[in-house]
Amino acid sequence: MLSLLLFTGCMSFSGTYTFNMTDVERPENSTEQYGDFTTTVNEDGGIVYEDSLIKCAWVVGTQNFAFTLENKTTNSIKIIWDECAYINENGSTGRIMHTGVKYTDKNASQPPSVVVRGARIDDIILPTDNVYYISGQYGGWRTKPLFTNRATTQAELDVTTKNTVGKNVRILMPLEIKGVTNEYVFNFEITGFDQAASPY
């Protein structure tokens, strides 16, 4: 009986959210400067944005946003990390970190990444507010999920996902080209929730 209670107490209900890119905000007169843009979904389920300057494919994971940025120009592009920001589903703005930044340095200045002409970069965006440290024997650095996707009961999970689906998050990514900073704001809508198989 005791072992059954312990096993039951460890059960959880979980799943993954689905997303769509609803809009991309660009600087004024961007149509003349960058041309029209398109958003598509590739064979891997990634959301792809493209204009005359860049092609950027996004995959929203449980803990971060993974992206591949392709430079379509004849000049280098700098990703200005210190000016990037994440705006969560509640409208709060926070810093981000990317691949290669140590958790202990999450609040330190991050030098720009350079994408040379015709090349691309694979990286991630992780909100620093989601990174925290736990002390003790089994402590260490932890990363919270972007959105709560796990609960101990089905009812709790239903309430959580109902309050999350339909909301929007944004990523501000300033790109410097020939000394001019171009602010891209990628808008993502949380469109649904795919629950994992029952734990029973």
18-31 pLDDT, tens per residue? 999 998 998 766 55
> Does any domain span residue 27?
yes
> Does any domain span residue 38?
yes
The boundaries of the domain holding residue 119 are: 12-195
> Does any domain span residue 161?
yes
Checking phi first, is residue 91 left (phi over 0); if not, alpha (psi -120 to 50) or beta? left
Q: Tell me the backbone φ, ψ of residue 77, rounded to 5 degrees.
A: -120, 135
pLDDT tens for each residue of 33-78: 667 888 888 877 789 999 999 999 999 999 999 999 999 999 999 9
Find the length of the chain: 200
The amino acid present at 98, given as its one-letter code, is H
Q: Tell me the backbone φ, ψ of residue 164, rounded to 5 degrees.
A: -105, -45
- The structural domain count of the chain equals 1
> Does any domain span residue 60?
yes
> Does any domain span residue 64?
yes
Joined together, the tokens standing for residue 15 give 């799943």
